[in-house]
Structure 1
Amino acid sequence: MKWLLDTLASSIGKKLMMALTGFCFCLFLAVHLAGNLTLFGGREMFNSYAAHLHALGVLLLVGEWVLLLFALVHIVTGLTLFYQNIKARPNRYAVNKSAGGRTIGSATMPYTGVLLLAFIVFHLINFHFVDKTQTTIFDIVSQAFASPMYVGIYVIAMIVAAVHVSHGFWSAFQTVGANHPKYMPMIRTLSIVFALVVGFGFGILPIFVSISA
């Protein structure tokens, strides 16, 4: 057990935890997006999706707690690595170069991560921790996205999510050792495609709801 704790406490161990939890969140995003796309089918289809989801009962509750645990691990580990990097290199380089695969996503990972955390809290307050006894989830979503401010916040948040995922996805593959020169270009391309799907897929939903309400 000690070797496991020592491994997880090391820099490599922290990066592995970031990668594994990151993979889980990418899977969650894909599944969540697939479910939310039922909004295009209208009130009955979306409410039916929500009803089937909540019918999972204990399984859904367990899944939510697992996601919460993974989120805590991902956030704490990410901030710890960020702090260690700053501590190891307190003086910033005079010139920021894009060599070595540095991208907007990689350069802004800690900041986009914090913004996404704030958005997730905002999202949960507006859609999860609300009284649903006298209404339906479709009505809650429709009412929220009737506000241009809400639509703007969600669209901007999805752009931030796309930027974060664009680096995090392929970086996770690199961390677990899938960084062979033959496959990395394909993985990078897949990462960009996935980021665009996430950003556009989630971002278009509030716009669609607002104009169709």
Structure 2
Amino acid sequence: MNWFTKTFSSTIGRKLVMSITGLFLCSFLVVHLIGNLQLFKDDGGLAFNVYSEFMGHNPIIRTMEIVLVLGFLFHIYDAFVLTRRNQSARPIGYANSHPEENSNWSSRNMGLLGTVILVFLIIHLYNFFWRARFGELSIDAGGNPDLYIVVKESFGLWWYVAIYVIAMIALAYHLIHGFQSAFQTLGLTHKKYTPFIKSFGYAFSVLVCLGFAAMPLYFFFFE
């Protein structure tokens, strides 16, 4: 196992792990967004509560939660290690360098964007996941725990809505760079297909994050 440890602790190995876990987390975002779209149904939250109850007790979903958590942890840890290595390689900044000429803003600030997303994730998990699993929720007309009420209460707070929207903006920028970078790291580049991957990644990043940001804005302004 020595070769395995050396490979995946190297810079290239960690970038591979970052790419694989990043693309896996992108698939989670799609599934999560589709489920959360139940919030827009005009049924008092019944459909959303059914979805939440299913996600909380289905054994397959519960198993995938472990995979998801591991994916997050590997992604965050490798991002931290790679950032530290890059900083160590350049302990003194170049006085006359112009990084903006060779890279876009999101690629130069992935650490900052990731930190904003991580802080939001901690708040979000406590507010919804923790309360859904370990809190005492009322029961809706369908006999399911009423997580919809928690959503309405949370999205009625201006500061929480602001944090949510800012985090989605940060996530969009993070994904715009990360999506294309993941394919490049995995060697899936081609002069014919790379422009499509870049365009698809941009559209994916913007649309997914707009979908998530629309939820708190809808509840705050219209509910």
TM value normalised by structure 2 = 0.90
Percentage of identical aligned residues: 37
Matched, 1:87 2:79: no
- In the alignment of these two chains, the number of paired residues is 211
Where structure 1 has 5 or more consecutive residues not aligned to the other structure, the ranges are none
Distance 1:132 1:210 in 2: 24
Q: Which residue of 1 aligns with 2:162?
A: 152
AA at the equivalent of 2:137: T
Q: Quick check: 1:134 aligned with 2:113?
A: no
Report the Cα distance in structure 1 between the residues aligned to 2:98 and 2:81, rounded to whole angstroms. Answer: 23
TM-score (norm 1): 0.94
User: Which residue of 2 is the match for residue 44 of structure 1?
Assistant: 46
SS in 2 for 1:196: helix
Q: Which moved more, 1:64-73 or 1:169-178?
A: 64-73
**In structure 2, distance between residues paired with 1:44 and 1:61:** 22
Quote the offset at 1:51 in angstroms: 2.4
Could you tell me how far 1:132 is from its partner in structure 2?
A: 4.0
Corresponding residue number in structure 2 for 1:169: 179
What code does the residue aligned with 1:12 have?
I
Give the SS at the match of 1:129. Answer: helix
The alpha-carbon deviation at position 49 of structure 1 amounts to 1.7
Query: Residue 13 of structure 1 corresponds to which residue in structure 2?
Result: 13
The partner residue of 2:189 within 156, 160, 179 is: 179
Q: Find the aligned partners of 1:83 and 1:39 in 2 and give their Cα distance.
A: 40
Partner amino acid, structure 1, of 2:222:
S
Of the three residues 193, 207, 210, the one matched with 1:200 is: 210
Whole-Å separation in 1 of the counterparts to 2:163 and 2:137 = 26
Secondary structure of residue in 2 paired with 1:98:
helix
Please state if 1:77 is matched with 2:78. yes
User: Which residue of structure 1 lines up, in the alignment, with residue 142 of structure 2?
Assistant: none
- Answer with 37-46 or 110-119: which moved more: 37-46
CA contact (8 A) 2:38 2:47 kept: yes
After superposition, residues 52-67 of structure 1 pair within 5 angstroms as 52-56=54-58, 58-67=59-68
1:94-113: CA deviation from partner (whole Å, max 9, x where unpaired):
2323344x112111111111
My pick for the range that moved more, 185-194 or 126-135, is: 126-135
Q: Relative to structure 2, which stretch is displaced further, 159-168 or 176-185?
A: 176-185
Distance 2:99 2:88 in 1: 20
Per-residue CA deviation, residues 39-97 of structure 1 (Å, 9 max, x unaligned), is 111312212221232241x3222222211111111111111001101111122232323
Q: How far is 1:9 from its partner?
A: 1.2
Q: Distance in 2 between matches of 1:104 and 1:132?
A: 43
Q: Does 2:201 match 1:188? A: no
Q: What RMSD over aligned residues (CA atoms) do the two structures have, in Å?
A: 1.4
Q: In the alignment, residue 187 of structure 1 is paired with which amino acid?
A: I
Write the letter of the residue equivalent to 1:186.
F
